[in-house]
Amino acid sequence: MRIDILTLFPGMFEGFIHESIVKRAILKGLVEINIINIRDFTLLKNGQVDDTPYGGGSGMVLMCEPVVRAIESVKTEYAKVYLTSPQGQVFNDHLASDIYNSCKHLILVCGHYEGFDERIKNFVDGEISIGDYVLTGGEIPAMAISDALIRFIPGVIDTESFKNDSFKDNLLDYPVYTKPRVFRGLEVPAVLLSGDHKKIAEYRKSEQIRVTKEKRPDLLK
């Protein structure tokens, strides 16, 4: 899978691509991640990529020219292009799965300031939001979206751990425990120490249902 991230702040992605599971996926050749600086595509000598909004108002608006030129510099015939925006479709595990299964080249354009010139939306496939709140920029959403997609790639994470992730079958994951058996009077459930794999599987399924009812009953509707 190839992911191109278009941003005004490439340095924000240093840790994302050079640490942990994402780094290992890149080194294994399972995913290609390219960070593209939108400022490299402005035609203005001062490097300007934004300007004041027509009609007045506060803030600055990302200009069409540098953003569209940046998109066109990396776009392939099979690419899908999404803006990170609080106005977009809310991202969840189902959307992540849909994008992964239908797209082998993803382009994410990080929003900033007051947002994108509306005309830019004619050059993309959609907008994605990671929740009903506003951040200072689209870099963190781009990382979250990329991370969720990369986990689907075979070989990135252990297949068994993937099976019981939260949101599989519209259920949250079951509680997990590790050593010691007792910590400050809090004990690991006895069934997990029994060695009876059938009982453990039944317990974990019942715990998934219980936890989902308590924390996210909307998933069971």
Residues carrying CATH 1.10.1270.20, the chain:
164-220
pLDDT value, residue 161: 65
pLDDT value, residue 164: 63
The architecture CATH gives domain 164-220: Orthogonal Bundle (1.10)
Q: How far apart are CA 148 and CA 146, in angstroms?
A: 5
**Is the peptide bond between 217 and the residue preceding it cis, with omega within 30 degrees of 0?**
no
pLDDT value, residue 169: 81
Residue type at position 62: L
Q: Are 212 and 171 in contact (CB under 8 A)?
A: yes
Residues carrying CATH 3.40.1280.10, the chain:
2-150
Contacts of 204 (CB under 8 A, 6+ apart): 164, 174
Please state the three-class secondary structure of the chain as a single string: CEEEEEECCHHHHHHHHHCHHHHHHHHCCCCEEEEEEHHHHCCCCCCCCEECCCCCCCCCEECHHHHHHHHHHHCCCCEEEEEEEEEEEECCHHHHHHHHHHCCEEEEEECECCCECHHHHHHCCEEEECCCCCCCECHHHHHHHHHHHHCCCCCCCCHHHHHCCCCHHHCCCCCCCCCCCEECCEECCHHHHCCCHHHHHHHHHHHHHHHHHHHCHHHHC
Maximum separation of any 2 CA atoms in the chain, in Å: 70
Q: What is the CA radius of gyration of the chain?
A: 21
- In CATH terms, the fold of domain 2-150 is Alpha/beta knot (3.40.1280)
Q: Active-site residue numbers?
A: 86, 114, 151, 165
Q: How far apart are CA 202 and CA 179, in angstroms?
A: 22
pLDDT value, residue 162: 64
Q: Which residues pair with 89 in a beta bridge?
A: 128
Instruction: List b or e across 62-86, with b for residues whose CB sees 16 or more CB atoms inside 10 angstroms.
Output: bbeebbbebbeebbeeebbbbbbbb
pLDDT value, residue 166: 67
How does pLDDT run along the chain (221 residues), one tens digit per residue? Answer: 999 999 999 999 999 999 999 999 999 999 999 999 999 999 998 889 999 999 998 899 999 999 999 999 999 999 999 999 999 999 999 999 999 999 999 999 999 888 999 999 999 999 999 999 999 999 999 999 999 999 999 999 986 666 666 677 889 999 999 999 999 999 999 999 999 999 999 999 999 999 999 999 998 97
pLDDT value, residue 153: 95
